[in-house]
Amino acid sequence: MTAIAEPVTLTVSAVSMRFGGVQALDDVSFSARGGEVLGVMGPNGAGKTTLFNIISGVQRPTAGTVQLDEVRLTGRPVNRVAALGVTRTFQTPVMFWGLNVRESVCIALTACEFGGSYPPRADRALLPSGLGMPARRRADTALRARADALLERAGLTHMGDRPTESLAFGEERLLELTRALAVDPRVLLLDEPLSGLNPDEVGEVLRLIRGARAGGIAVLLVEHAVGELLSVADRVVVLDYGRTIAEGAPADVAANPAVIDAYIGDELE
Partner 1 sequence: MRRLSTAYAPVAAVIVAVIAVLVWFLPSYYTGLLTLVGIYALVTVGLNLFMGYAGQVSLGQAAFVGIGAYTSAVLSVKLHITPWLGAIAGALAAALVAFALSFIVLRLRENLLALATLALGIVINVVFNEWDFIGGSSGFKGIPGFAIGSFVFDQRAYAILAWVLVGIGIWFAGNLVQSTYGRALIAVSAGELGAQALGVNSEGLRRQAFVLSAVYAGIAGAVYASSFTYIDPTSFGFLLSVNFVLMSVIGGLRSLWGAVIGAAIVVALGQILQTVIPLVLPGARGDFQSFFLGVILVVMLILMPRGLTSRFANGGRA
Binding test (CB under 8 A) with partner 1, winner from 131, 257, 264, 265: 131
The nearer residue to partner 1, 112 or 246, going by C-beta atoms, is: 112
Binding test (CB under 8 A) with partner 1, winner from 10, 143, 177, 219: 143
The nearer residue to partner 1, 192 or 228, going by C-beta atoms, is: 192
Q: What does the alpha-carbon distance between residue 269 and residue 267 come to, in Å, rounded to a whole number?
A: 6
Q: What does the alpha-carbon distance between residue 206 and residue 68 come to, in Å, rounded to a whole number?
A: 25
Q: What does the alpha-carbon distance between residue 37 and residue 188 come to, in Å, rounded to a whole number?
A: 9
Binding test (CB under 8 A) with partner 1, winner from 48, 76, 173, 179: 179
- With binding defined as CB under 8 A, does residue 23 bind partner 1? no
| E strand map for 7-139 | 9-19, 22-33, 37-41, 63-68, 71-72, 86-88
- With binding defined as CB under 8 A, does residue 1 bind partner 1? no
Instruction: Name the segment binding partner 1 (CB under 8 A); options: 172-180, 199-207, 244-252, 259-267.
Output: 172-180
Question: Interface mask (CB under 8 A) for partner 1, residues 85-124, using x and -?
Answer: --xxxx-x-xxxxxx---xx-xxx-xxxxx------xxx-
Three-state secondary-structure class, residue 108: helix
Q: How many CB atoms lie within 10 A of CB 4?
A: 18
Q: What does the alpha-carbon distance between residue 202 and residue 1 come to, in Å, rounded to a whole number?
A: 20
| Smallest separation, CB 88 to partner 1 (Å) | 5
- By CB under 8 A, the count of residues binding partner 1 is 47
- With binding defined as CB under 8 A, does residue 135 bind partner 1? no
- With binding defined as CB under 8 A, does residue 77 bind partner 1? yes
Q: Compute the 3-state secondary structure of the chain and give helix, strand, coil in percent, each to the nearest 5.
A: 40, 25, 35
H/E element holding 68?
strand 63-68
Number of helices (H), then strands (E), in the chain: 10, 10
Phi, psi of 167 (to 5 degrees): -80, 145
| Smallest separation, CB 195 to partner 1 (Å) | 15
Please give the angle made by the CA atoms of 66, 113 and 212, to the nearest 5 degrees.
65
Binding test (CB under 8 A) with partner 1, winner from 27, 140, 152, 234: 140
Contact between 217 and 124 under an 8 Å Cβ cutoff? The reply is no
| Smallest separation, CB 250 to partner 1 (Å) | 27
Binding test (CB under 8 A) with partner 1, winner from 18, 33, 136, 153: 136
The nearer residue to partner 1, 77 or 227, going by C-beta atoms, is: 77
Q: Which residues pair with 86 in a beta bridge?
A: 187
- With binding defined as CB under 8 A, does residue 54 bind partner 1? no
Q: By the criterion CB under 8 A, which residues form the site for partner 1?
A: 56, 58, 77-79, 82-83, 87-90, 92, 94-99, 103-104, 106-108, 110-114, 121-123, 125-126, 129-132, 136-137, 140, 143, 165, 176, 179-180, 182-183
